[in-house]
Structure 1
């Protein structure tokens, strides 16, 4: 492939045949050592960045891939990061005395703001507490990268 470079072979192919001597080959190999040498070389770092970018591009904003991207990066063994929809409950209204209407509370459960129908939150990201305490900024960055435009989310610690 075009991205896999054998630098020794490249040196030999670019040298004219009458200059292919061991001394000149060693000299040219020493010149390109910063490109091809060890784990600190430019080619090695470029190859790692390329692999990371290809992995990042293999995911998208669909919920199954999105959850997979978060679990692959932050919780690869237990895979506890999940997504949930908001409940879209109807909000009960408590009238004031000035409105002069009956007030009956009955059994009322108080929910979080994002569970009501008028909320701007579209989905919840459920993240384990130990991961959230240590890597919250990275989680937010990854969610922002894959989040569909116009969708709002809230991260909940479980």
Structure 2
């Protein structure tokens, strides 16, 4: 019965942003539902972005355009190097297993789409 429920859940969700956001929040932040997905970095004056770098988290300096300056990003070709960004609150940093998150996103996204996982304050 559980297997059937899991398969039905997968069939009800697809790669659309609203469904992908729903799946990620159901699994990793079911109460507050703070995980968001954006097409590009939103311009917000008080937004601070973080990048996971091996075992440490580094604060990224902001450019004049209020977009983060990406440091040592593998395969990154500028702001348009990714098709969408997954924004995760910094408070969930220790609770989310990154390899599991990437596997779930890869299950639902289209094969040609590239994504980045970013940690944000808030």
Q: What band does the TM-score fall into relative to the shorter chain?
A: 0.5 to 0.7
Q: Secondary structure at the match of 2:6?
A: helix
Matched residues, number: 91
**Alpha-carbon shift at residue 152 of structure 1 (Å):** 0.6
Flag the structure with more relative contact order, 1 or 2, with Cα contacts below 8 A and sequence separation at least 6.
2
Q: Hey, what does 2:108 align to over in structure 1?
A: 146
Q: Secondary structure at the match of 1:133?
A: coil
- 2:27 counterpart of 1:65: no
Alpha-carbon spacing, 1:115–1:67, altered in 2? closer, same or farther (3 Å): farther
Gaps of 5+ in 2: 42-62, 71-75
- 2:90 counterpart of 1:134: no
RMSD of the TM alignment (CA)?
2.3
Gaps of 5+ in 1: 1-46, 88-107
Mapped to 2, the partners of 1:131 and 1:53 lie a distance apart of 27
* Structure with the largest fraction of helix: 1
Trace 1:66-145 onto structure 2 (pairs within 5 A).
66-87=20-41, 109=64, 111-113=68-70, 116=78, 119-135=80-96, 136-145=98-107
Query: Is the 1:86–1:115 contact (alpha carbons within 8 Å) kept by the matching residues of 2?
Result: no
Whose Rg is larger?
Answer: 1
Q: Secondary structure at the match of 2:85?
A: strand
Mapped to 2, the partners of 1:150 and 1:73 lie a distance apart of 24
Name the stretch that deviates more: 132-141 or 77-86: 132-141
**Alpha-carbon shift at residue 75 of structure 1 (Å):** 0.9
* Structure with the largest fraction of strand: 2
**Alpha-carbon shift at residue 115 of structure 1 (Å):** 9.0
Mapped to 2, the partners of 1:116 and 1:49 lie a distance apart of 42
**Alpha-carbon shift at residue 128 of structure 1 (Å):** 1.9
